Amino acid sequence: MQRIVFLDRSTIAPQVRLRRPGFEHELVEHQRTAPEEVVRRLDGATIAITNKVPLTAAMLEQLPRLRLIAVAATGTDCVDKAWCADHGVAVSNIRGYAVNTVPEHTFALMLALRRNLVAYRDDVLRGRWQEAGQFCFFDHAIHDLAGARLGIIGDGVLGQRVAEIARAFRMVPLFAAHKGVSGMGSLYTPWQEMLATSDIITLHAPLTAATRGMIARPEFEAMKRRPLIVNTARGGLVDEAALVQALDAGQISGAGFDVVTSEPPEPDNVLLRAAGRHNVILTPHVAWASDEAQQALADQLMDNIEGFVAGRPRHLLQRVS
Ligand SMILES: NC(=O)C1=CN([C@@H]2O[C@H](COP(=O)(O)OP(=O)(O)OC[C@H]3O[C@@H](n4cnc5c(N)ncnc54)[C@H](O)[C@@H]3O)[C@@H](O)[C@H]2O)C=CC1
Ligand SMILES: O=C(O)C(=O)CO
């Protein structure tokens, strides 16, 4: 019998229906799991479900019965996948469920920042409209999306959909070649050129050893058009201290972030401390979380588990022996 343990059920909203798998099983759901509780809770489990609880090599070594880690998200940076590949533990993830919700959130951030909505809202609330004495006032710059060059880092499900929406806004989307990689072909804009010529840069790449810290001080210094930086992918992709320095130095015109390096952020996180500025919007990792997307995620999670148990695995990240 399969023993399935969900380590962080509370990362999916309570109204989302998580159907029971159609095979004989025991399912244990924990709302949250601290790192020191992982091994005890997964003892005897054949299938672990995690959304964001880290599963390290040191933990996995103590779990000989584990066969599948079903990640309840697209990003799998919480799992030591190299260890899993070496030790025959399969890892699956959820694909495509966020194809509407994340791009819509990305454009919500872009539109709000390009049009200075936060600043104008604050002005209205503090009486500036009355002070202005006419039907409008122009305290903050407003820029259209139309005509803007949008540098997109990551050309998967989300990056492609963002490009599609950008075209509808009459923007100029360009996919960045991977940092440090040349010869990716004419569909990609060289990394340095993307940095130098974009009006907005949006991140849609996974967090890996190659992408961690990919936007740091040298990248901000290479940005010539004071772009907005929008990150709905993973916090570790951008050096947060360098981001705030770039805001202070005027190298970028604003930041719309849904993710930070450590979540929830510590009270002294530099980006959290900058979040009250008019040109910064920080949302609490909710780009994925429309009701529709959460239900699609929950359904696909069970499809992945059932497929694996039936010998028809789907959405595996790597082959296992
Ligand atoms: N904030 C949120 O709520 C959510 C965040 N995400 C994040 O968004 C990421 C992307 O999601 P999808 O597009 O669905 O994944 P995907 O797997 O379809 O696409 C990822 C793309 O990144 C590219 N990539 C890999 N290494 C790269 C590098 N060094 N430089 C540039 N691109 C690179 C891949 O070639 C691939 O095209 C996920 O890995 C996840 O971390 C995903 C869903 C929700
Ligand atoms: O799907 C993802 O990768 C997310 O970050 C949402 O949990």
Domain boundaries, the chain: 2-97+291-309, 101-282
Q: Which of 53, 71, 74 to mutate to test the pocket of ligand 2 (most atoms within 8 A of CB)?
A: 74
What confidence score (pLDDT) does residue 319 get?
A: 57
Distance CA(224)–CA(195), nearest Å, equals 7
Give the ipTM.
Answer: 0.99
What confidence score (pLDDT) does residue 88 get?
A: 97
pTM for the model stands at 0.97
Distances (CA, A) of 16 to 9, 11, 286, 290, 293: 11, 11, 15, 11, 10
Residue 315 is a catalytic residue:
no
CA 142 to ligand 1 center in whole angstroms: 30
Question: Does residue 259 line the site of ligand 1, with CB under 6 A?
Answer: yes
Question: Does residue 91 line the site of ligand 1, with CB under 6 A?
Answer: no
Proximal ligand: closest to the CA of 51: 2
CA 22 to ligand 2 center in whole angstroms: 25
Options 221, 263, 266, 292, the catalytic residue: 263
- Top CATH class of 101-282 equals alpha beta
Alpha helices in 140-224 (DSSP H): 157-168, 191-197, 217-222
Residue 234 is a catalytic residue:
yes
Same topology between domain 2-97+291-309 and domain 101-282: yes
Q: Which CATH architecture has domain 2-97+291-309?
A: 3-Layer(aba) Sandwich (3.40)
Q: Which stretches of the chain score pLDDT less than 50?
A: 321
What confidence score (pLDDT) does residue 24 get?
A: 97
What confidence score (pLDDT) does residue 320 get?
A: 56
